[in-house]
Amino acid sequence: MIADLYIRVSTDEQADKGYSQRHQEDTLRKYCEINHIEIRRVLFEDHSAKTFNRPVWKRYLLDIRKHKNIADRVLFLSIPENKMMLAFYLAVPEVENDRRALNVMDGMHRARKEGRWMGAAVFGFANRTREDGTKYIAPKEPDASVMRWAFHELARGIFNTEQVWRMAQKRGFTKKKANFWQIIRNPIYCGKIIVPKYKNEEATVVKGLHEPLISEGLFYEVQSVLNGRKRAYRTRMRVDDQIPLRGFFDLPQVWQKPVRQRLHRIQRSLLLLPLYCQMRLPVWCSNSKLGF
């Protein structure tokens, strides 16, 4: 184990006339000798602890930032003034982490404004990396075809969202129903990127750098259907009273001719039925026991 020794005094008078520094150094060296700790460097701080002007300590912080892992720990005696030094020493990593997190958030916001998708790709896309290390998303088959079919089916307005989701599952869609609802609302499929509100900037939508799966017109047409602003009307058919089922059944070609001949015979029989009844009715009445 390697350690640096930090030795300081409480007042400037102790630095000039006192024995505090030599006592601290002897104590720390004995401690390192007993615990088999290698001493890399000894730092002497002669400035008073009553102020925040500590040039040796500041230079030491800059040095460990530039050259990390050069020492395992910093040793100093537990005197009341050292608590302030310890607080600064422990706060440095936290400040660096906060600064790093802030830089990452700023970079992600900037990337979204440039049209880049940040994070894992949604269904229908896949994360890719170019030769220069730039990350992007690209359509992934057959998932991309499933999403194109789902958007076209929703735009027709015949089936509701749950029915389209169930039909999409049979085609290979693997997400839940709630996730499907979020996906069809995401403009990433028409080549747009949502930039959330950040600091003083309002939320906005920018053009993405990826290849879209559907057109922008189709996407907004689907949104109109989902919002209830567009209603699909079924085609009305004029039905012949004699053949009311025409247009509702699709018979195989091998059946069409026999069935058509059968229907014609039935139709001809129905047309001749009133005439047959008129011819048979007087005979029946004259032979009946009712006396008509």
28-85 tens-digit pLDDT: 888 888 888 888 888 887 766 555 467 887 888 788 778 777 777 878 776 565 566 6
Q: What is the mean pLDDT of the chain?
A: 77
CB of 129 within 8 A of CB of 135?
Answer: yes
Residue type, 92: V
Return the pLDDT at 17: 45
How far is Cα 59 from Cα 73, in angstroms, rounded to an integer? Answer: 16
2-111: CATH topology is Rossmann fold (3.40.50)
CA atoms within 13 A on the CB side of 253: 0
At 110, phi and psi to the nearest 5? Answer: -65, -40
Return the pLDDT at 270: 59
% of the chain exceeding 70 in pLDDT: 68
Region 81-93 average pLDDT: 69
Written as one string, the DSSP assignment of 138-202 is EE-TTHHHHHHHHHHHHHHTSS-HHHHHHHHHHHT--S-HHHHHHHHT-GGGGTEEEE--BTTBP
Q: pLDDT tier at 278 (50, 70, 90 boundaries)?
A: low
Which of 278, 113, 272, 116 is closest to 201 using CA atoms? 113
Residue 198 pairs in a beta bridge with 201
The boundaries of every CATH 3.90.1750.20 domain in the chain are 125-226
CATH of 125-226, one of 1.10.357.10, 3.60.20.10, 3.30.470.20, 3.90.1750.20: 3.90.1750.20
Give the pair of three-digit tokens for residue 88. Answer: 């600064």
In this structure, how many other beta carbons lie within 10 angstroms of the beta carbon of residue 225? 20
* pLDDT for 273 beyond 70: no
What pTM was estimated for this model as a whole? Answer: 0.51
* Nearest-10 crossing angle of helices 82-113, 55-66: 40
Residue matched to tokens 């701080």: 45
The boundaries of every CATH 3.40.50 domain in the chain are 2-111
Strand segments, DSSP code E, in 30-80 are 38-45, 73-75
Q: Judging by DSSP bridges, how do beta strands 192-195 and 204-207 pair with one another?
A: antiparallel
For the four alpha carbons of 222, 223, 227 and 230, in that order, the dihedral sign comes to negative
In this structure, how many other beta carbons lie within 10 angstroms of the beta carbon of residue 180? 21
How far is Cα 251 from Cα 263, in angstroms, rounded to an integer? Answer: 13
